[in-house]
Structure 1
Amino acid sequence: MAAISGGNTYHHGDLRNALICAAVALATEGGPERVVLREAARRVGVSPTAAYRHFDGRGELLRTVRTHARRELADSMERAAAREPGADDPALAAERRVAALCRGYVGFAVEQPGLYRAAFCVPRPGATDEPAPERPQAEPEIRAFTLLREALETLARSGAAGPGTRPATGAAAWSAVHGLSLLLVDGPLRRLPVQRRNAVVETTLAMVVSGARAL
């Protein structure tokens, strides 16, 4: 917690990281809409002026939260893949990894909907408390997609799938799991009982794997 040392001077062991943690908590509670620099400063116990020394505005803070959320999403996928039992057959092992990565993707969306929304938010230039940037910034590739694309390439090399158009295959598989995640988080499937939800998830994953095999 920050301490005041006279006037408007604030001291904090790691104020930037504390603001990020507060912003991540805000996103976890209510999605990217809840991430406001002034509110993060209030939670940490410093003035907005102190917060602005570390972030230009809401947009920069939200982009930092988005990076964190994307990292958490990819970590969820890798944990799900690590739990999957191995297989002597390379093709079967590759199929299991693709399905497990997708399962970890959807699982993260369902368990952490606020962070999931934040992972794919688009901070708007010129929004409240953020100056418009001089030029658009190039975004790095999302690791969740990289994991899925690489798993599909391994599946193709194993002989369980044809070579196909690999970039398109990865994008198609990602579209399937991302679309399902949105339907479960914000769409008409959000009220499904757990058992039916799991059945929909597993059916979708089976379609992703069988579709990749067919290419």
Structure 2
Amino acid sequence: MAYHHGDLAAALLTAGLELTRSGGPEALTIREVTRRVGVTPNAAYRHFPDRQALLDAVSAAIQADMAGRMATGRPPAGPRETLRAVGLGYIAFALAEPGWFAVAFFGAGDVTPDTVVDSPAYSALAEALDMMVHIGDLAPSGRAAATWSCWSTVHGFAELALRGPLRHVDGAEVWRLAEQAVDTVIAGLPAVV
């Protein structure tokens, strides 16, 4: 892809997305992105002051795409079903896009709980849990712990399936186990008594 006119920042972002899709965060370099776009590295620095700034922009675009895919899989049902769809959507994205998954959660530098709260994937989870609290299906006192329990379950499962012992298991069996993991964590959320 050669850059001739238009929005250089968008062209650099697109090239960054292409590189990281298969290669993860390590594949992203200013030199390779600018080579693909057909400009000098100095041109990129007018839009992204350094590699980390470009990687942050790529990560944000990936997270937005991930949240969109998670929303697509949600059935028009109650909050528990929505929470299940969000969790399985997270795992499905990780399995389908391992390079992007690595960028989304490990490419953005020092991620803190505060920066995670701003991510679209977190927002999808938070909305489902908030709705469960609102309708009385989740105890308000358990809301904060539910966030990290749910997220660590789906994230941990995705990592086990991508880089751990589950990477050697048949895809259909991995998906069955993913559904079981998500269902188990949802069943364990504290109900209002």
What TM-score do the two structures reach when normalised by structure 2?
A: 0.89
The answer to whether the Cα contact below 8 Å between 2:95 and 2:162 also exists between their aligned partners in 1 is yes
Structure 1 segment 106-125 matched on structure 2, within 5 A: 106-123=91-108
Provide the residue aligned with 2:3 in structure 1. Answer: 2
The alpha-carbon deviation at position 162 of structure 1 amounts to 2.9
Are residues 1:43 and 2:36 paired? yes
Q: Which residue identity lines up with residue 174 of structure 1 in the other structure?
A: W
Q: Aligned partners of 2:42, 2:182: CA distance in 1, in Å?
A: 48
Q: Aligned partners of 1:196, 1:180: CA distance in 2, in Å?
A: 13
Q: Aligned partners of 1:124, 1:174: CA distance in 2, in Å?
A: 19
Structure ID, larger Rg: 1
The alpha-carbon deviation at position 159 of structure 1 amounts to 3.2
The answer to whether the Cα contact below 8 Å between 2:139 and 2:190 also exists between their aligned partners in 1 is yes
Q: Aligned partners of 1:74, 1:143: CA distance in 2, in Å?
A: 5
Deviation sequence 1:109-152 (CA, Å, 0-9, x none): 00011111000124559xxxxxxxxxxxx736212112112212
Q: 1:35 to 1:158 in 2, by over 3 A?
A: same
Q: Aligned partners of 2:175, 2:105: CA distance in 1, in Å?
A: 23
The answer to whether the Cα contact below 8 Å between 1:77 and 1:101 also exists between their aligned partners in 2 is yes
The answer to whether the Cα contact below 8 Å between 1:69 and 1:119 also exists between their aligned partners in 2 is yes
Q: Aligned partners of 1:172, 1:203: CA distance in 2, in Å?
A: 15
The alpha-carbon deviation at position 41 of structure 1 amounts to 0.4
The alpha-carbon deviation at position 175 of structure 1 amounts to 0.8
Provide the residue aligned with 1:63 in structure 2. Answer: 56
Provide the residue aligned with 1:179 in structure 2. Answer: 156
Q: Which residue identity lines up with residue 45 of structure 1 in the other structure?
A: G
Are residues 1:151 and 2:128 paired? yes
Deviation sequence 1:26-63 (CA, Å, 0-9, x none): 01011011011110000111111222222112111111
RMSD of aligned C-alpha atoms? 2.1
In structure 2, stretches of 5+ residues that fail to align are none
The answer to whether the Cα contact below 8 Å between 1:152 and 1:212 also exists between their aligned partners in 2 is no
The answer to whether the Cα contact below 8 Å between 2:95 and 2:161 also exists between their aligned partners in 1 is yes
Q: Which residue identity lines up with residue 194 of structure 1 in the other structure?
A: G
Structure 1 residue corresponding to 2:87, chosen from 72, 81, 102: 102
The alpha-carbon deviation at position 211 of structure 1 amounts to 1.1
The alpha-carbon deviation at position 161 of structure 1 amounts to 3.2
Q: 1:41 to 1:162 in 2, by over 3 A?
A: same
The alpha-carbon deviation at position 18 of structure 1 amounts to 0.4
Provide the residue aligned with 1:190 in structure 2. Answer: 167
Q: Aligned partners of 1:160, 1:212: CA distance in 2, in Å?
A: 9
Structure 2 residue corresponding to 1:34, chosen from 11, 24, 27: 27
Q: Which residue identity lines up with residue 211 of structure 1 in the other structure?
A: G
The alpha-carbon deviation at position 165 of structure 1 amounts to 2.3
The alpha-carbon deviation at position 191 of structure 1 amounts to 2.0
